[in-house]
Amino acid sequence: MTNKSFAKFILTSLCMLFVMLLFAGSTAQGFNPLLVDFAIGQEAPGFTLSDIEGKQISLESFKGKPVLLNFWATWCPYCRKERSHLNDLHRKYKDKGLVILSISTDRSLKKLKKYMEKTPADFIVLSDTEGRVSSSYNIIGLPSSLLITREGIIKYKFTGFREWSSKGSRELIDSLF
């Protein structure tokens, strides 16, 4: 095999692997390249993090309620854009029991607090300065979100901006109830 044909073989193999990974995100509703479902059906890893006031919050304390877990950072433009959609979603679903836990991956709690003063959230904001929780959820891009059932099972995982106030997103949330 010549160097040229070997390179072609490697490139073709990598392309096929990429396509297979994309289609791993297929659902009954059709292909969604932003849906990353490798964790779907698994129990959500437990964690305890501090909110911006220092209060300890654990995922386990919300067992019995559906949870939207959202990973973001202050420097991420798509995360900032997603904030208003999450605020809208929180207002619409808080009385139904949906819990939104927004986990900042910023390394500086000081920067996070400063950002939150300017851009408040209507939901719980936690700080993962060490990256321990984002690593346990295999977060590879921001923003990333997971929908977790009342039983603590990951039902959906998304990487990238999502309009949480859209009809399609509301249908996903409704499926948790």
- Specify whether 19 is located in the same domain as 40: no
Q: Could you tell me which residues are beta bridge partners of residue 156?
A: 147
Residue 68: per-residue pLDDT: 98
Chain centre to alpha carbon of residue 12: 31
- Specify whether 72 is located in the same domain as 52: yes
- Specify whether 62 is located in the same domain as 86: yes
Residue 3: per-residue pLDDT: 72
Residue 69 — pLDDT band, cuts 50, 70, 90? very high
pLDDT above 70 for 116: yes
List pLDDT tens digits, range 21-58: 554 444 444 445 455 456 889 999 999 999 999 999 99
- Specify whether 168 is located in the same domain as 92: yes
- Specify whether 41 is located in the same domain as 25: no
Specify the higher pLDDT residue, 18 or 177: 177
- Specify whether 121 is located in the same domain as 170: yes
- Specify whether 162 is located in the same domain as 122: yes
CATH number of the CATH domain containing 91: 3.40.30.10
- Specify whether 157 is located in the same domain as 168: yes
Distance from C-alpha of 73 to C-alpha of 142, rounded to nearest angstrom: 7
Q: Which residue in the list 36, 59, 68, 79 is annotated as catalytic?
A: 79
Residue 4: per-residue pLDDT: 72
pLDDT above 70 for 73: yes
Mean per-residue pLDDT over the chain, rounded: 87
Kindly report the pTM of this predicted structure: 0.79
- Specify whether 96 is located in the same domain as 81: yes
- Specify whether 46 is located in the same domain as 94: yes
Residue 127: per-residue pLDDT: 98
Distance from C-alpha of 171 to C-alpha of 59, rounded to nearest angstrom: 23
- Specify whether 71 is located in the same domain as 149: yes
Q: Catalytic annotation on 76?
A: no
Q: Please count the structural domains in the chain.
A: 2
Distance from C-alpha of 36 to C-alpha of 146, rounded to nearest angstrom: 10
Q: What are phi and psi of 104, to 5 degrees?
A: -80, 135
- Specify whether 100 is located in the same domain as 133: yes
Range 76-84 average pLDDT: 96
Query: Residue 76, SS3?
Result: coil
Distance from C-alpha of 100 to C-alpha of 67, rounded to nearest angstrom: 6
Half-sphere exposure of 162 (CA within 13 A, CB side): 32
Residue-number span of the structural domain to which 43 is assigned: 34-174
